[in-house]
C-alpha cells in the first residue's frame, strides 16, 4: 500500500508538472501589445463601462473617478453604474457624480425586478445595463476596482488592431500588509497567469469580470446570459465560453501592464473563503471539458497530499511538496514579473499547507453548500 500511494502521487506530480510547463510555454508566447499612447486616432471606439454595485459606498467614487480620469475623450464613453438593491449610499453617490459628469449614469435593478424574481443578480444587472448601453463595446469592471490612465485607449487600440469580439484582460490585487493579503496575491497570480496562458493557447475559457470587454452585438448574437442565467456566479467565464463556441478565433487577451485593473483583497479569512467557494461553485456548470479535467487534476493532486500525510508517509509528502513548489514557481516567475510582484514569491513555499487546505475546502463546499455574498445567501 505504501509503494502504491507513492506511485500514485508520483504520477499525479508528473501530470501536474506537465500542465504547468504547458501553461508556462503558452504564457511565454504572449508579447506585450504594441501600445502607442500618442498614436493619432481617426475613429474612436464608443465604450459603455458597466459597473454592477451592491453596498459599495466606500468604493464606488474611487472606481468611477479612475474611469472619468481616462486619457480618452469623454464624448466617446459612458459609465453605467447599476445598483443592485443597495442598502447604503451607493446610489446617492453616483447621482452626485452624475451632476458633474453627465456621462456617468445610474440604473437601479429594483426599477426593473423584484429581488425574489432573480437567481443571478449580477448577470441581470449587466444584462439590463447592456440593454441601455449606447456604446458599441461593453467593458465590465467591479465597484472596488481602479483602472489606470490608458485603460480605455489600450482597449481601443487593441480592438482596432485585432478585430475581436471578446477581450480578457489582467486584474491584480492591491498590495497591502499582512499574511492574508500576501496569500491572496500569490493565489491570484496563478489564476491570472492561467487565464492569460489559456487565451494564448486558444484553450479553455477563462476571464475575470473585473476587466473584460465584448462587442455589444456579439452579446446579443449569443443570447446574452440565456441558458446560464440561473447560475448565481459566472458572469465572466460562462459568457466567454458561449462566445468561444461560435466565435472562437475572435477571443483575445490584452497583454499590457497599463491594462491591469487593481482591486481589493478580502479583508478577513471568512470573506476570503466565501469568495473562493463562490468561484468554485460555478465549476460544475462549465460547458468546457478542458476546464473540468484541469480542475479535477488539481483537486485530486491536492487531495493526494492529505491522504499521504494521514497515512504517515512524511518523506513522500515533503518530497512531493518540494516538486510541487518548484514547478509552480517555474510557472509563476514570468507572471510575477509581469505584475511587478517578483519579491512576493520568496514566501511561496511557506503558504503551501494553507494553499492545499483551502483548495480542498473551497472545491468541496463550492459544490455542496450555500455561500454568503454581498449579504445574500446563495445556492
Can you give the pLDDT at residue 303? 95
Taking the mean position of all CA atoms in its chain, how far away is CA 374?
Answer: 17
Neighbours of 182 (CB within 10 A): 20
Q: What 8-state DSSP symbol labels residue 211?
A: S
Can you give the pLDDT at residue 212? 97
Delimit the domains of the chain by residue range. Answer: 2-28+287-365, 47-282
Can you give the pLDDT at residue 283? 67
Instruction: List, for residues 169-190, the tens digit of each pLDDT value.
Output: 999 999 999 999 999 999 999 9
Closest CA to 215 of 148, 170, 158: 158
State the fold for domain 47-282.
Answer: Spore Coat Polysaccharide Biosynthesis Protein SpsA; Chain A (3.90.550)
Residues facing 77 on adjacent strands: 47
Closest CA to 58 of 90, 32, 28: 90
Can you give the pLDDT at residue 50? 98
| Spatial CB neighbours of 198, under 8 Å, sequence gap ≥ 6 | 23, 26, 204, 205, 206
DSSP-assigned letters across all residues of 40-89 = --SSPPPEEEEEEESS-TTTHHHHHHHHHT-SS-GGGEEEEEEE-S-SSS
Can you give the pLDDT at residue 371? 66
Left if phi > 0, otherwise alpha if psi is -120 to 50, otherwise beta: which for 378? Answer: beta
Give the span between the Cα atoms of 197 and 39, in whole angstroms.
28
Give the span between the Cα atoms of 273 and 266, in whole angstroms.
9
Instruction: List, for residues 99-144, the tens digit of each pLDDT value.
Output: 999 999 999 999 998 888 877 889 999 999 999 999 999 999 999 9
Give the span between the Cα atoms of 366 and 274, in whole angstroms.
9
Can you give the pLDDT at residue 351? 95
What's the sign of the alpha-carbon dihedral 290, 291, 295, 296? negative
What's the sign of the alpha-carbon dihedral 338, 185, 321, 358? negative
Torsion of CA 142, 146, 150, 153, to 10 degrees: 10
Closest CA to 179 of 305, 271, 261, 265: 265
* Residues of the chain under the 50 pLDDT cut: none
Can you give the pLDDT at residue 1? 59
Amino acid at each position: 500500500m505504501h509503494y502504491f500511494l507513492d506511485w500514485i502521487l508520483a504520477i499525479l506530480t508528473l501530470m501536474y508538472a506537465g500542465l504547468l510547463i504547458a501553461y508556462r510555454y503558452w504564457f511565454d508566447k504572449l508579447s506585450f501589445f504594441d501600445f502607442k499612447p500618442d498614436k493619432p486616432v481617426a475613429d474612436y471606439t464608443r465604450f459603455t463601462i458597466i459597473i454592477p454595485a451592491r453596498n459599495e459606498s466606500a468604493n464606488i467614487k474611487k472606481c468611477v473617478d479612475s474611469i472619468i480620469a481616462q486619457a480618452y475623450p469623454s464624448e466617446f464613453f459612458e459609465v453605467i453604474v447599476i445598483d443592485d438593491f443597495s442598502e447604503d449610499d451607493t446610489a446617492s453617490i453616483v447621482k452626485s457624480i452624475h451632476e458633474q459628469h453627465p456621462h456617468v449614469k445610474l440604473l437601479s435593478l429594483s426599477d426593473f425586478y423584484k429581488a425574489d424574481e432573480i437567481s443571478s443578480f449580477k448577470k441581470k444587472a449587466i444584462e439590463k445595463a447592456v440593454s441601455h448601453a449606447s456604446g458599441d463595446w461593453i467593458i465590465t469592471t467591479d465597484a472596488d476596482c481602479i483602472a489606470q490612465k490608458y485603460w480605455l485607449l489600450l482597449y481601443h487600440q487593441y480592438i482596432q488592431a485585432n478585430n475581436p469580439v471578446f477581450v480578457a484582460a489582467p486584474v491584480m490585487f492591491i498590495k497591502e500588509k499582512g499574511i492574508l493579503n500576501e496569500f491572496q496575491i500569490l493565489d491570484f497570480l496563478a489564476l491570472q497567469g492561467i487565464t492569460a496562458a489559456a487565451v494564448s493557447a486558444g484553450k479553455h475559457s477563462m476571464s475575470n469580470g473585473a476587466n473584460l470587454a465584448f462587442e455589444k452585438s456579439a452579446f446579443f448574437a449569443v443570447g446574452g446570459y440565456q441558458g446560464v442565467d440561473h447560475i448565481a456566479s459566472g458572469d465572466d467565464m460562462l459568457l466567454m465560453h458561449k462566445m468561444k463556441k461560435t466565435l472562437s478565433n475572435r477571443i483575445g487577451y490584452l497583454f499590457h501592464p497599463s491594462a491591469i485593473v487593481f482591486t481589493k483583497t478580502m479583508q478577513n479569512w471568512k470573506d476570503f473563503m466565501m469568495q473562493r467557494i463562490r468561484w468554485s461553485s460555478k465549476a460544475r456548470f462549465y460547458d468546457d471539458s478542458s476546464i473540468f479535467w484541469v480542475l479535477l487534476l488539481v483537486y485530486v493532486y491536492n487531495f493526494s497530499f492529505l491522504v499521504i500525510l494521514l497515512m504517515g508517509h512524511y518523506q513522500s509528502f515533503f518530497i512531493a511538496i518540494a516538486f510541487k513548489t518548484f514547478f509552480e514557481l517555474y510557472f509563476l516567475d514570468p507572471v510575477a514579473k509581469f505584475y511587478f510582484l517578483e519579491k512576493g514569491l520568496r514566501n511561496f513555499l511557506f503558504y503551501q499547507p494553507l494553499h492545499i487546505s483551502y483548495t480542498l475546502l473551497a472545491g468541496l463546499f463550492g459544490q455542496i453548500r450555500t455561500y454568503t455574498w454581498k449579504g445574500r445567501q446563495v445556492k
